[in-house]
Chains A and B, each alone.
Chain A
Amino acid sequence: MTYLRRSNVGEKKGRAVTIAIILAIVALVSIDFIFPSFYPRLLSPVASTAWKSEDAVIGIFGRMARIVSSKLALVRENASLRDEVRSREADAFLLQTLRDENEALKTALGRESRSSGVLGVVLSRPPVSAYDTLTLDVGSDDGIAVGQRVYINGSILVGDISEVTGASSKTSLYSTPGRETPVLIGDKKVAAQAVGRGGGNFIARLPTDIEVAVGDIIVAPQLRVNIFGVVEHISVGATDSIQAIYFRAPFNMQELRYVEVDAAR
């Protein structure tokens, strides 16, 4: 008996299409490695437009929600916020006084901290980004360059510019998992390496004989007055000679809307 062989033309065609698709994907991915700025220049304007329209849409829904909120709840919130503002006014005056004194001393010693801030709107932030990066709406057209430092509220140092296109830029936060940054801890300004743990969190390790307390301020070693983080928790085992210091940057990632890029460097 003669058995007809099953035609494998369809299988060969399917295999050819699969191989062609795989080769096309390899080519597209290779472009990113060979020309690393090609895709950012292509995708950033499109993504920036989408993020800007997201703010407008959320704004509309936010306003509608506020209209239906209970009046009593709003009155209570208003009173609580007024109390909080009053309690912080005194600290704000003291901070400004100390800042002015610091700048005057530096000027007298011939070390003026030159800063030229560019205000940027945050278009995307963690947890949308897995890499602890912020996308800003300012780019090379606004004088932004790779390496410039990024601040919140004028003094909280959070990261530096890692990528720039014409109208947008990317900030790599110092808390990027695995990233190491030199810092100074506490009143005695003990030098240490802060290792990022993501989402504004850090860990540093110091010998146990160095005194560190919860609430100690951590700063970056630079001329401009800054705050890098605040100690939240210290962990040391009974037989350990090294203490693990957990600290975080003092800002709320979810409420982050504006940053200042120091365009002086």
Chain B
Amino acid sequence: MRIAFNIALLVSVLFLPWWLFAIVLVAAFFVVGRFFEGVLWGLVADVLYGSYWGFYGWTHAFLVGSVIVFAVASVVRDRLAWQR
């Protein structure tokens, strides 16, 4: 599953609309446990497409967003695991 998501992220960051890449990335964080490489994929998206102007001034929007989603996903997964 981890390898499949990494391949999907590689294809989506290069060829698919950014919002599809974001959906795949968020899904990866919630489906795969401790998906640390998701943060690196956020960095890759910022490096490939980012600019000085950023997104409303956010030059590393994908990186920051992936860190936040990773933290939220970790908490949610822990709670779900505990309730099982």
Contacts and interface: CB of A to CB of B under 8 A. Distances in A.
Interface of A: 18, 21-22, 25, 28-29, 32, 39-40, 43-44, 47, 50-51, 54, 124, 126-133, 135, 162-163, 170, 172, 176-179
Main secondary structure of the interface of A (DSSP, over half): mixed
Interface residues of B, number: 29
A172 B36 contact: no
A131 B51 contact: yes
A28 B19 CA distance: 24
A47 B16 CA distance: 13
Main SS class of interface, B: helix
A179 B40 contact: no
Contacts of B19: 127, 130
A133 B36 CA distance: 27
Interface of B: 14-19, 34, 36, 39-40, 43-57, 60-63
26 contacts: A21-B34, A22-B36, A25-B39, A28-B43, A29-B39, A29-B63, A32-B43, A39-B47, A44-B48, A50-B14, A50-B15, A54-B14, A126-B18, A127-B18, A129-B18, A130-B18, A130-B45, A131-B53, A162-B51, A162-B52, A162-B53, A172-B52, A172-B53, A176-B51, A176-B53, A176-B55
